[in-house]
Structures are given as structure tokens and as C-alpha cells.
């Protein structure tokens, strides 16, 4: 019974998502749309959540500026999360470069 589970899980043809944002495959074959939507949702979600926290603190403390600080903190935090998930960097594989870096193969400059 455990052999069937191992056999079924290793033979699946679904793309594996590991260490990436939700909806973005590790092979990056989904295009930029999913990555863009993930960045958008991180930033907008951060603004909404931290603005609500700031609004609650403003209500408790009788101030009016913490909601703005919360919105700014949420935007920065959302961008940081998307950057840490690798959604905002323009990384290319070594084979995808338009020109090779380093010395030429024939020894000439």
C-alpha cells in the first residue's frame, strides 16, 4: 500500500510549486500575468490590513495619522514579500542571455 502511494506521487505530471508565490510555477511558464497579480495582491492586501490596524489604533489613541503610516507600512511590506518570493526581480537563466558574459571562446577580445 505504501508502494502505491510513492509510485502515484512520483509519477504525477502536474507542475510542482515549491518556494514560490501562490499561482506561480517553479518553471515560470505561466507568464508574467500570475506574477503580476501576486505582486498586486501582496501590495493591496498589505495596504488594507495595515490600514485597518492603523485605523483601530487611531480610534483607541485618538490620533489621525497612524492609518496613513499603516498604509505605507503595508505597501512596503507587500513589495518586500513579493521581492523575497522572487516576483519583482528580472532573473534570467544562463542560456537565456542575449550575449554571453565573460571572455570569448576564441581568446580574442
Whole-prediction pTM: 0.58
Please state the separation of Cα 15 from the chain's center in Å.
Answer: 18
Tens-digit pLDDT profile for residues 52-90 = 999 999 999 999 999 999 999 999 999 999 999 888 766
Q: Which residues of 71-82 are buried (b: 16+ CB within 10 A; e: fewer)?
A: bebbbebbbebb
Q: Is 37 exposed, middle or buried (0-12, 13-18, 19+ CB in 10 A)?
A: middle
Residues 6+ positions from 53 with CB-CB distance below 8 Å? 70
**Does residue 20 have a pLDDT over 70?**
no
Amino acid at each position: 500500500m505504501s508502494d502505491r502511494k510513492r509510485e502515484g506521487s512520483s509519477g504525477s505530471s502536474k507542475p510542482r510549486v515549491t518556494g514560490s508565490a501562490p499561482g506561480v510555477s517553479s518553471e515560470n511558464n505561466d507568464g508574467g500575468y500570475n506574477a503580476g497579480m501576486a505582486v498586486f495582491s501582496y501590495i493591496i492586501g498589505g495596504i488594507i490590513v495595515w490600514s485597518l490596524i492603523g485605523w483601530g489604533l487611531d480610534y483607541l489613541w485618538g490620533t489621525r495619522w497612524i492609518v496613513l503610516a499603516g498604509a505605507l507600512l503595508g505597501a512596503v511590506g507587500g513589495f518586500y514579500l513579493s521581492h523575497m518570493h522572487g516576483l519583482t526581480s528580472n532573473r534570467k537563466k544562463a542560456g537565456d542571455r542575449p550575449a554571453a558574459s565573460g571572455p570569448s571562446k576564441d581568446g580574442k577580445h
